[in-house]
Amino acid sequence: MRQLRDDGAAQEVVQEVFLRAWRRADSYDPSIASLRVWLFAIARNAVVDEARRVTARPWRRNLTDEPGDLAGAEPVDGGEDAVVDSWLVEEALRRVRAEYREAIVQTYLRGRAYADVAAELGVPVGTVRSRVFYGLKALRLAMDEMGVEP
């Protein structure tokens, strides 16, 4: 409801999430992600699909809204998306090799320089760069396996 700002659309998204989960129940693998993360990924994708649908056909929403209903509507802030995204990234990072995870966390999430991380780990800067590169590839693969769509 907070993301879509429309009670009817939120109800449709909830139904869609359970329908998608029911249809793809055989694709759930507890060794890849927890049930909670799997459902959040489905929900995130359903909310994005609904937001795109409304954006593509704004006239459909205006057919059911009262005049002036949208005048005071606030834009979606994406705060909830950030929380769900952080859970998904955290779960995907657990699937990545430890040295890749360390390089990604230190350089991307903590914003440290490659040279500083290399000095701390006692490896050449090129090794840190390679670990980040291959770690990001592994992270993308893990997120694909979890069913997260870009």
Summarize pLDDT for 42-83 with one digit per residue, the tens: 888 888 887 777 676 554 454 444 444 444 444 445 556 666
Find out whether 93 and 136 touch, Cβ atoms under 8 Å. Answer: no
Residues of the chain with CATH 1.10.1740: 1-80
Q: What is the pLDDT of residue 52?
A: 77
**Residues in the chain, pLDDT under 50:** 59-60, 62-76
Residues of the chain with CATH 1.10.10.10: 95-150
- In whole angstroms, how far apart are CA 13 and each of 1, 46, 101, 105? 9, 6, 34, 33
- How far apart (Å, rounded) are the C-alpha atoms in residues 51 and 5? 10
From the candidate CATH numbers 1.10.490.10, 1.10.10.10, 1.10.3720.10, 1.10.510.10, the one assigned to the domain spanning 95-150: 1.10.10.10
Find out whether 76 and 48 touch, Cβ atoms under 8 Å. Answer: no
- Would the pTM of this model clear 0.75, i.e. be above it? no
Q: What is the pLDDT of residue 17?
A: 85
Find out whether 37 and 110 touch, Cβ atoms under 8 Å. Answer: no
Q: What does the block give as tokens for 26?
A: 């055989």
Q: What is the pLDDT of residue 118?
A: 92
Q: What is the pLDDT of residue 71?
A: 43
Q: What is the pLDDT of residue 57?
A: 57
Q: What is the CB neighbour count within 10 angstroms for residue 103? A: 27
CATH architecture for residues 1-80: Orthogonal Bundle (1.10)
Strand, coil or helix: what is 150?
A: coil
